[in-house]
């Protein structure tokens, strides 16, 4: 892996915390009647998160990208099965290991206050009931960091304001000194200002040395804070780019990523025809081929990853 870690925001390049290769996840599902079918939702996903780095996996909602978080945390539903390679800090992430690490070294930041116990005081809840001096001091430090008054410890979740609650949710993740933080759609329905602030809190986690993986559909927002973007399309990761590559169309690699860029309101709001292929009617080879102007006969074969200008792409014609 010769990926350059973006140093613009001062993150030190670190060792890979999470490395996922060829992840695929499928479901067994019933059709109408008695037939049972396999439905592959994630076909081939690669992502790597290094210490001190914030990486976003960006894909349209309903593309199954949330399953990535569930797979890493070992929380897939009963009718799902996953395959591929998952490594955590250099060695394989087995179900046993996940069980041990989940909630301590690997944490997921919950989406809303509904995930907190409404009957327990905030401070007690964040400390997970521990009352030793070290934990208490640590919480004080975290609160200072996020501009929360010490008295907030004594509040119940319903007494928190919206902005406070986001910081509290992140605090629950921080108390454990996590090495890997996963956030799945952390900013649903928030206006830009609040959403940006929430993302900045995650940025701080990365700056403190954790690897942060954000899973979102909101590319515009992700670009504001993350180091690297993994573009996810129709069940496959198709490009890995630095966030700064998104400043201009020319620095991007995959035709789909370029189409995304052109569709942003600020870059012309230009649509590209067609839709993501349906999970049961996947084209062979490149999933974007049916909508791509550069498509050739070669595109219906397996497309390998290619290093390109400090990033990676799965496209034969990308230059």
List residues binding another protein (CB under 8 A).
27-30, 34, 36, 59-63, 78-79, 162, 189-194, 217, 219-220, 259-260, 263-266, 269-276, 278, 280
Closer residue to another protein, CB minimum distance, 153 or 184: 184
3-state DSSP assignment of residue 255 = helix
Tokens of 212: 């942060």
Tokens of 177: 């000194």
Closer residue to another protein, CB minimum distance, 158 or 250: 158
CA distances from 166 to 60, 75, 186, 236 (A): 24, 23, 9, 31
Q: How far is the CB of 32 from another protein (least distance, A)?
A: 8
Give the integer Cα–Cα distance in Å for 254 and 183.
25
* In the chain, alpha helices (H): 66-72, 95-101, 122-126, 133-145, 162-174, 192-207, 219-225, 255-263
Closer residue to another protein, CB minimum distance, 47 or 222: 222
Q: How far is the CB of 200 from another protein (least distance, A)?
A: 16
Closer residue to another protein, CB minimum distance, 66 or 125: 66
Closer residue to another protein, CB minimum distance, 83 or 163: 163
Q: How far is the CB of 30 from another protein (least distance, A)?
A: 6
Closer residue to another protein, CB minimum distance, 10 or 278: 278
Give the integer Cα–Cα distance in Å for 1 and 140.
39
First to last CA, the chain: 20
Closer residue to another protein, CB minimum distance, 212 or 234: 234
Q: How far is the CB of 282 from another protein (least distance, A)?
A: 13
Q: Are 69 and 61 in contact (CB under 8 A)?
A: no
Q: How far is the CB of 98 from another protein (least distance, A)?
A: 23
3-state DSSP assignment of residue 82 = strand
Q: How far is the CB of 206 from another protein (least distance, A)?
A: 24
Q: How far is the CB of 196 from another protein (least distance, A)?
A: 11
Give the integer Cα–Cα distance in Å for 238 and 42.
12
């Amino acid at each position: 892996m010769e990926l350059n870690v973006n140093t613009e925001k001062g993150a030190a390049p670190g060792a890979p915390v999470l490395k996922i290769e060829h992840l695929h996840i499928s479901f067994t599902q019933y059709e109408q009647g008695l037939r049972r079918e396999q439905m592959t939702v994630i076909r081939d996903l690669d992502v790597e998160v290094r210490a001190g780095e914030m990486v976003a996996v960006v894909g349209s909602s309903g593309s199954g990208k949330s399953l990535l978080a569930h797979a890493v945390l070992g929380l897939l539903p009963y009718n799902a099965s996953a395959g591929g390679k998952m490594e955590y800090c250099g060695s394989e992430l087995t179900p046993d290991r996940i069980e041990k690490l989940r909630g301590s070294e690997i944490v997921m930041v919950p989406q809303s206050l509904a995930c907190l116990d409404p009957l327990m005081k905030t401070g007690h809840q964040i400390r997970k009931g521990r009352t030793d001096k070290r934990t208490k001091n640590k919480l004080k430090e975290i609160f200072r960091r996020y501009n929360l008054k010490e008295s907030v410890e004594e509040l119940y979740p319903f007494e928190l304001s919206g902005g406070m609650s986001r910081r509290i949710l992140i605090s629950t993740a921080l108390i454990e000194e996590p090495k890997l933080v996963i956030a799945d759609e952390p900013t649903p329905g928030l206006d830009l200002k609040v959403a940006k602030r929430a993302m900045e809190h995650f940025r701080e986690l990365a700056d403190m040395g954790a690897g942060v993986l954000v899973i979102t559909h909101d590319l515009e927002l992700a670009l504001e804070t993350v180091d690297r973007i993994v573009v996810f399309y129709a069940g496959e990761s198709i490009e890995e780019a630095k966030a700064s590559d998104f400043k201009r169309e020319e620095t991007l690699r995959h035709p789909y990523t370029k189409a995304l860029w052109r569709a942003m309101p600020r870059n012309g709001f230009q649509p590209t025809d067609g839709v993501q292929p349906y999970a049961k009617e996947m084209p062979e080879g490149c999933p974007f081929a049916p909508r791509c102007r550069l498509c050739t006969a070669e595109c219906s074969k397996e497309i390998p990853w290619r290093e390109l200008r400090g990033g990676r792409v799965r496209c034969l014609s990308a230059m």
